[in-house]
């Protein structure tokens, strides 16, 4: 018994969502689902783990905050302390109010950019990267499930037909 | 269908009988069809203005800042006015996409792409002015704290002008990645339907290989939300810091604590007005009336009216506080603004910014396209004069009456300003023909809840 791989097209997000739930229930492995827009509830239906990118972003923000403090402390306090307008800069904490804007900006700068870079790398997005959606209509108005056929191909096919699939294509592994 | 329920009192945001495929067709149409004569005329005018501005910039850099109308008393006038005006305009984009995302306002989706484009293009214009004013723009990198060979020579982190460098750079780059991340699925849509190979190649490159996997979308939504959360305080901080350029000085008329909120409100006000100006034309030319509806125009008019009123309150508060402070220099600065030789600029500012948006209280007026268009331009004129009034009238009569003077711009000053307007429109017109101007992936995700046809289906 050889497992086949199927590309199943749908033309509606609600039908797709029900189909995914059904497929998961019948314990057939789904490799990937391609959709033209975010279908809400799809990640839960596919049992995808929640993304941890916001945790990473928090850490990136902390790094930015630390970098800004270290940088300004070295430049303004350690390397060349100056007396500007009668306000000598011999202590970081006493001069801190003037440094708040840049502490904030660098926190945001690091958090935002490193988050986006992480997202691009994790989702394999960069210039000259070839797109991987098997059917070009999945960026327009179609939804594609890339799945295993299960042990009984004809049974799976008839189940998918009943759920509203508009085309089922067998593809090589 | 039931999961897409939306209260029936909410008016549809996508008009007509649209399917997902129709949305792709409508958004891709301006990209896939050649521009008409009107576009070429507009583009040529913008290009001529840009080239004229470039000439004036080259003359300034070659000859010196003496070619401007500045003098010993008014050492900061036309350039900083334009800088603040452009930065202010740049605030609407992030406000629409970030703040309205946090508030889950679905009407942002029809306009956020163009508003963000406008943000980026106008911040570029703003950035030009301080760079030209340096006199030696090739040394602009000295603004950054780079280790150098001049001994321990560092930038001054106590200076609001340096805070501005960090704020504007962060704002520009973060807005750019926010915009581009949202563009990826839409570029991919154009890529996948492209017939001509060169178009396919270009949009493949631009879309970074976006494939629309379920995990990608999950991350995409999280990234958008977190970026919105980061961009919201960022957008407020940027104009706050721009206002610090003035507020931390000791010049009467500038040294006021109301400046940060007052500048932020003014920035949102002028930014929305510019979005209104551009989108009223764009929805007609690119036939996007189904996505940028009268309701969108009305919503923007309401924001313009509210922020205009906040700005009005700030003007009056300033006058009151100047009187209440008992400081005669402060009192004179404001008296001089309203009744001095620049009274006409003050009058323009008051009438354009405070009085004119008040007509938006009438529903018939705020849903009228022609009136909205006229008011949006009036507001932008008014906001330019606001910055002119704040900057020039505070400087031109200083503590020493013997050095009192007037400011008048030279044709170089005016030429550079016209040049930046031309540059802005060159960028925007190119964008309108080559980018997906509506966030179509997002629009598709709300079609079933906010589309007119689906709403009708539910009502039955």
Q: What is the pLDDT of residues B148-159, one digit of tens each?
A: 888 778 898 989
Compute the distance between CA of residue B86 and CA of residue B424 in angstroms, rounded to an integer: 10
Residue A172's alpha-carbon distances to A62, A90, A149, B114, in angstroms, are 47, 70, 12, 43
Query: Among A149-153, B34-38, B319-323, where is mean pLDDT lowest?
Result: A149-153
Closest to B192 (Cβ–Cβ): which among A14, A130, A139?
A139
So what's the pLDDT on residue A2?
61
Residue A123 with chain B: CB contacts under 8 Å:
213, 215-216, 219-220
Residue A108 with chain B: CB contacts under 8 Å:
170, 174, 230-231, 233-234, 237
So what's the pLDDT on residue A67?
96
The predicted model scores a pTM of: 0.93
For B17, residues 6+ apart whose C-beta sits below 8 A from its C-beta are: B452, B453
Residue A147 has φ and ψ, to the nearest 5°, of: -140, 165
So what's the pLDDT on residue B122?
94
CB of B168 less than 8 A from some CB of A:
no
Q: What is the pLDDT of residues B233-254, one digit of tens each?
A: 999 999 999 999 999 988 898 9
A114 band by pLDDT with thresholds 50, 70 and 90: very high
Q: Are B292 and B282 in contact (CB under 8 A)?
A: yes
- Best A52, A125, A130 member to test B by mutation, with max B CBs in 10 Å, is A125
Query: Among A65-79, A149-163, B80-94, B424-438, where is mean pLDDT lowest?
Result: A149-163
Residue among B235, B411, B284, B267 nearest B30 (CA): B284
Closest to B177 (Cβ–Cβ): which among A38, A116, A123?
A116
Q: Are B186 and A11 in contact (CB under 8 A)?
A: no
Q: For chain A, give every domain's residue range.
A: 5-50+133-171, 53-122
Q: Are B167 and B237 in contact (CB under 8 A)?
A: yes
Side-chain-side CA neighbours of B145 within 13 Å: the count stands at: 19
Classify domain A5-50+133-171 by CATH number: 3.30.70
Closest to A139 (Cβ–Cβ): which among B169, B212, B218?
B212
Question: Per-residue pLDDT for B441 more than 70?
Answer: yes
Question: Per-residue pLDDT for B2 more than 60?
Answer: no
Residue B1 with chain A: CB contacts under 8 Å:
14
For B68, residues 6+ apart whose C-beta sits below 8 A from its C-beta are: B60, B77, B78, B79, B409, B410, B412, B413
Question: Per-residue pLDDT for A1 more than 60?
Answer: no
Q: Which residue has the higher pLDDT, A4 or A166?
A: A166
- What 3-state DSSP class applies to B405? coil
- Locate the chain B residue with the closest alpha carbon to A110: B170
Question: Per-residue pLDDT for B43 more than 90?
Answer: yes
Q: What is the pLDDT of residues B179-207, one digit of tens each?
A: 999 999 999 999 999 999 999 999 999 99
CB of B29 less than 8 A from some CB of A:
no
For B213, residues 6+ apart whose C-beta sits below 8 A from its C-beta are: A32, A33, A34, A123, A132
Question: Per-residue pLDDT for B299 more than 70?
Answer: yes
So what's the pLDDT on residue B31?
92
So what's the pLDDT on residue A86?
82
At which residue do the structure tokens 């329920």 appear? B5
CB of B145 less than 8 A from some CB of A:
yes
Q: How far is A85 from chain B (nearest CA, A)?
A: 10
ipTM of predicted complex: 0.93
């Amino acid at each position: 018994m050889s497992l086949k791989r199927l590309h199943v097209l749908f033309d509606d997000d609600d039908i797709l969502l029900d189909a995914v739930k059904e497929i998961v229930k019948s314990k057939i492995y789904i490799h990937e689902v391609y959709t033209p827009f975010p279908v809400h509830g799809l990640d839960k239906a596919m049992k995808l783990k929640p993304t941890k990118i916001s945790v990473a972003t928090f850490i990136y923000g902390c790094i930015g905050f630390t970098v800004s403090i270290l940088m300004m402390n070295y430049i303004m306090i350690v390397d060349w302390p100056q007396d500007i307008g009668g306000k000598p800069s011999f202590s970081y904490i006493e001069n801190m109010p003037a440094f708040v804007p840049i502490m904030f900006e660098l926190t945001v700068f690091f958090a935002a950019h490193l988050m986006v870079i992480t997202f691009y790398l994790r989702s394999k997005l960069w210039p000259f990267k070839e797109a991987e959606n098997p059917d070009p209509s999945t960026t327009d108005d179609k939804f594609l499930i890339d799945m295993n056929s299960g042990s009984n191909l004809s049974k799976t096919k008839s189940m998918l037909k009943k759920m509203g699939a508009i085309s089922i294509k067998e593809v090589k592994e | 269908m039931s999961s897409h329920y939306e209260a029936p009192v909410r008016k549809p945001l996508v008009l007509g009988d649209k399917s997902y495929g129709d949305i792709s067709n409508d958004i891709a149409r301006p990209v896939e069809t050649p521009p008409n004569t009107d576009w070429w005329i507009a583009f040529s005018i913008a290009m001529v203005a840009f080239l004229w501005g470039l000439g004036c910039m080259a003359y300034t850099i070659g000859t010196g800042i003496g070619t401007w109308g500045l003098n010993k008393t008014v050492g900061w006038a036309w350039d900083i006015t334009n800088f603040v005006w452009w930065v202010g305009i740049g605030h609407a984009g992030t406000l629409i996409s970030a703040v309205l995302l946090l508030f889950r306002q679905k009407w942002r989706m029809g306009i956020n792409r163009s508003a963000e484009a406008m943000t980026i293009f106008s911040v570029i214009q703003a950035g030009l002015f301080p760079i030209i004013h340096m006199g030696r723009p090739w040394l602009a990198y000295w603004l950054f704290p780079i280790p150098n060979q001049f001994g321990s020579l560092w930038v001054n982190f106590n200076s609001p002008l340096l805070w501005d460098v960090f704020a504007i750079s962060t704002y520009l780059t973060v807005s750019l990645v926010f915009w581009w991340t949202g563009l990826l699925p839409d570029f991919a849509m154009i890529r996948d339907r492209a017939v001509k190979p060169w178009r396919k190649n270009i949009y493949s490159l631009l879309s970074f290989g976006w494939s629309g996997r379920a995990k990608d979308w999950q991350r995409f939504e999280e990234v958008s939300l977190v970026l919105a959360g980061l961009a919201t305080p960022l957008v407020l901080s940027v104009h706050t810091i721009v206002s610090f350029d003035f507020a931390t000085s000791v010049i009467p008329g500038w040294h006021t604590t109301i400046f940060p909120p007052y500048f932020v409100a003014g920035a949102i006000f002028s930014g929305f007005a510019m979005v209104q100006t551009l989108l009223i034309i764009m929805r007609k030319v690119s036939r996007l009336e189904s996505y940028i509806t009268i309701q969108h125009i009305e919503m923007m008019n309401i924001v313009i009216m509210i922020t205009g009123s906040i700005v009005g309150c700030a003007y009056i508060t300033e006058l009151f506080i100047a009187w209440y402070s008992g400081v005669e220099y402060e009192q004179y600065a404001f008296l001089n603004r309203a009744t001095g030789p620049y009274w006409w600029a003050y009058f323009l500012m008051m009438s354009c910014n405070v009085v004119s948006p008040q007509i938006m209280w009438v529903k018939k007026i705020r849903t009228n396209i022609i009136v909205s268009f006229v008011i949006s331009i009036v507001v932008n004129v008014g906001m330019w004069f606001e910055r002119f009034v704040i900057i020039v009238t505070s400087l031109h009569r200083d503590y020493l009456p013997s050095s009192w003077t007037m400011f008048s711009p030279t044709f170089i000053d005016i030429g550079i300003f016209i040049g930046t307007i031309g540059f802005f429109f060159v960028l925007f017109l190119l964008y309108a023909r080559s980018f997906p101007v509506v966030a179509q992936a997002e629009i598709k995700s709300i079609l079933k809840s906010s589309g007119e046809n689906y709403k009708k289906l539910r009502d039955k």
